[in-house]
Amino acid sequence: MQELILSNRQIEDICKKIAKEIDLTIQDEKKTPVVIGVLKGGVNYMLDLIKYIESPILTDYIQISSWEGMQSTGIIHLKKDLTLDIEDRTIILVDDVIDSGYSYQYLKSFISQKYKPKNIYVTCLIDKQAERKIEVKIDFPGYILKEPKFLMGYGLDYKEYGRNIGYVYVPDKEEIDGYDDIIANGK
Ligand code: IMP
Ligand code: MG
């Protein structure tokens, strides 16, 4: 059986709450802030979140990868760079989950070194604290998960499956085996 972690309704409430906090933080910015979604997992959260931000913002996307199947490889690659010039602007980085913290560390240092933004704030839908490897400062955490669980849905995938599901849950073995079968059969 699936274990529900966040329903669509809970996700919507988180988006509204975080958008308010972001609005308060960016309301006096001189240059328009840029909200950056981390592909692919952060996109579902990004698109729902920005609907509730009332201040003017720009949006952009960046893609990295470090996960394979159910675990992080620890080695991070940049797959897609930004398209806007974000120098001197305030950045809000939006990701689905912060787990080990390695992606966070990579993204913050890559963006600040290459683009020299004014500052970088970070929000994630789920702050998965159990397997944190490095200290991270999450400015706007959504939901805090203390137990080490593998999650799917709402951007979170198992071998690219499940991103389209509207809520976040812990899959059971049967579901995981089902995806492995699909892949093994080349479907
Ligand atoms: P970190 O680098 O270990 O902090 O992992 C961050 C990224 O790994 C997240 O942005 C997700 O894309 C992915 N990730 C972390 N935990 C999970 C999970 O439980 N299910 C699916 N993907 C995850
Ligand atoms: Mg991600």
What is the SS3 assignment for 156?
strand
Contact 48 CB / ligand 1 (< 6 Å): no
The C-alpha atoms of residue 104 and residue 185 are separated, in whole angstroms, by 35
Contact 41 CB / ligand 1 (< 6 Å): yes
Comparison of pLDDT for 76 and 116, the residue scoring more: 116
Task: Give the pairing type, strands 71-80 and 58-68.
Answer: antiparallel
Residue with CA nearest ligand 1 atom 11: 97
* Maximum average pLDDT range among 52-56, 67-71, 183-187: 52-56
The C-alpha atoms of residue 65 and residue 78 are separated, in whole angstroms, by 7
Contact 100 CB / ligand 1 (< 6 Å): yes
Ligand nearest to the backbone CA of 72: 1
Is 139 a residue of the active site?
no
Among 168, 173, 184, 130, smallest CA distance to 41 is for: 168
Q: What is the pLDDT of residues 5-21, one digit of tens each?
A: 999 999 999 999 999 99
Q: Residue 153 pLDDT > 80, yes or no?
A: yes
Distance from the alpha carbon of residue 93 to the mean position of ligand 2, in angstroms: 11
Q: What is the pLDDT of residues 63-103, one digit of tens each?
A: 998 766 677 667 888 999 999 999 999 999 999 999 999 99
Strand partners, 65: 77
Residue among 95, 99, 127, 157 flagged as catalytic: 99
Instruction: Tell me what pLDDT residue 68 has.
Output: 67
Instruction: Tell me what pLDDT residue 74 has.
Output: 72
Instruction: Tell me what pLDDT residue 131 has.
Output: 87
What is the SS3 assignment for 103?
helix
Which residues have a beta carbon within 5 Å of ligand 2, which is an ion?
A: 41, 96
The radius of gyration of the chain from alpha carbons, rounded to an integer in Å, stands at 17
Tell me which of 3.40.50.2020, 3.20.20.70, 3.40.50.300, 3.40.50.1820 is the CATH number of domain 7-68+76-146. 3.40.50.2020
pTM, 2 dp: 0.95
Distance from the alpha carbon of residue 51 to the mean position of ligand 1, in angstroms: 24
Q: What is the pLDDT of residues 27-44, one digit of tens each?
A: 999 999 999 999 999 999
